[in-house]
Amino acid sequence: MAAGQDQGTGSGQKYGCGGGRARGGRGPQGTCICSACGHQVPHQAGVPCREVKCPQCGGAMIRND
The model's pTM is 0.57
CA distance 24 to 33: 20
- The answer on pLDDT for 64 being more than 70 is yes
Q: What are phi and psi of 12, to 5 degrees?
A: 90, 0
- What is the per-residue pLDDT for 24? 54
- What percent of the chain shows pLDDT beyond 90? 52
- The more confident residue out of 23 and 4 is 4
DSSP one-letter code for 32: E
Mean local confidence (pLDDT), 35-45: 95
The answer on pLDDT for 60 being more than 70 is: yes
